[in-house]
């Protein structure tokens, strides 16, 4: 990554200033996940009528301004206008430029969006975790699919399966954060491909106790093990829950500009973990 990313959400974290590429795999075909450590199974194909909320047995809606972390601009809501099924097997997270009726760190919040997590409903300590989705486009957009190991960040760890910033439409990032390698010091790598807002792509990690492999559309591009941590502690040995969100603005992506069209949508086809 070429730009520093400041401390993230309440966890929260950021993508590293320096992206270590040690252990990265160049477009190697993804190995079978059959060898992954046994883990709890999770599946959501987002089937349901248009306008319905995400399954409450699987997902929590977070609300608020993310405590001003990263200087993001959105107010997260739990309303269907910002996150709902489309009736065609997708969850659609919509970022809008509108008066939210709430105060953010910079004054009246000018944008709304949504963030969902599985905390208290699903967590896994390994396996194959995959999402298929179509990214939004435009300066200031910040979609992410990621995982947290608890509320004590960075000691509990974070795995960013996929992050993208709108000014880099052809690049996604995968990163880990933990004690001694958090925030701008997180360890990760970028993957360059097509314009990820033009269609659906799969983003996944294959995670065993001592190894995490990232892939896009089945092509592995990065592997991390304790050897990459320069003596720091590997904390990816306990259950992590899942998070989907679409942030607007912030120190890393920058704010939307006059050329950013709204509304913007993160369209999620499925989330699977096995």
Query: Strands 74-76 and 111-113: what pairing?
Result: parallel
pLDDT at residue 17 tops 70? no
* CATH architecture under which domain 28-254+264-273 falls: Sandwich (2.60)
Q: Which of 72, 130, 163, 168 is catalytic?
A: 163
How does residue 209 score in pLDDT terms, banded at 50, 70 and 90?
Answer: confident
How does residue 40 score in pLDDT terms, banded at 50, 70 and 90?
Answer: low
Closest CA to 247 of 129, 84, 71, 55: 71
Mean pLDDT for the chain?
89
Task: Write the DSSP assignment of 53-66 as a string of letters.
Answer: PPPTTT-EEE-B-G
Measure the CA dihedral 141/13/218/135, to 10°.
Answer: -10
Domain residue ranges of the chain, discontinuous segments joined by +: 28-254+264-273
Query: Strands 141-148 and 187-192: what pairing?
Result: unpaired
Give 49-74 pLDDT, tens digit per residue: 999 999 999 999 999 999 888 999 99
H-helix segments, 208-273: none
Query: Is-catalytic flag, 72?
Result: no
pLDDT at residue 9 tops 50? no
Q: Which tops the pLDDT comparison, 14 or 191? A: 191
Q: Which of 72, 98, 158, 168 is catalytic?
A: 158
Give 142-155 pLDDT, tens digit per residue: 999 999 999 899 99
Query: Is-catalytic flag, 130?
Result: no
- Looking at the chain, the whole-number percentage of residues with pLDDT higher than 70 is 85
Closest CA to 245 of 157, 136, 102, 142: 142
- What is the structure's pLDDT at 23? 40
């Amino acid at each position: 990554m070429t730009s520093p990313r400041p401390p993230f959400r309440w966890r929260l974290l950021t993508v590293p200033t320096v992206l270590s590429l040690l252990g990265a795999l160049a477009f190697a075909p993804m190995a079978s996940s059959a060898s992954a450590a046994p883990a709890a199974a999770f599946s959501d194909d987002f089937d349901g009528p248009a306008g319905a909320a995400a399954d409450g047995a699987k997902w929590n809606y977070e609300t608020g301004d993310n405590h001003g972390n990263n200087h993001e601009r959105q107010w997260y809501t739990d309303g269907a206008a910002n996150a709902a099924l489309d009736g065609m097997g997708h969850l659609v997270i919509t970022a809008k430029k509108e008066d939210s009726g709430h105060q953010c760190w910079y004054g009246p919040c000018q944008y709304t969006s949504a963030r969902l997590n599985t905390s208290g409903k699903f967590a896994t300590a390994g396996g194959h975790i995959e999402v298929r989705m179509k990214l939004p486009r435009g300066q200031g957009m910040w979609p992410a699919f990621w995982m947290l190991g608890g509320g004590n960040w960075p000691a509990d760890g974070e795995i960013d399966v996929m992050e993208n910033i709108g000014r880099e439409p052809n690049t996604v990032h995968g990163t880990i954060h933990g004690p001694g390698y958090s925030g701008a010091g997180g360890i990760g790598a970028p993957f360059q491909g097509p314009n990820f807002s033009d269609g659906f792509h799969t983003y996944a990690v294959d995670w065993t106790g001592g190894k995490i492999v990232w892939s896009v559309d089945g092509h592995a591009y990065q592997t991390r093990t304790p050897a990459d941590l320069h003596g720091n502690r590997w904390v990816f040995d306990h259950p992590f829950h899942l998070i989907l969100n679409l942030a607007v603005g912030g120190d890393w992506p920058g704010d939307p500009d006059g050329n950013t069209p709204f509304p913007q949508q993160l369209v999620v086809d499925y989330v699977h973990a096995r």
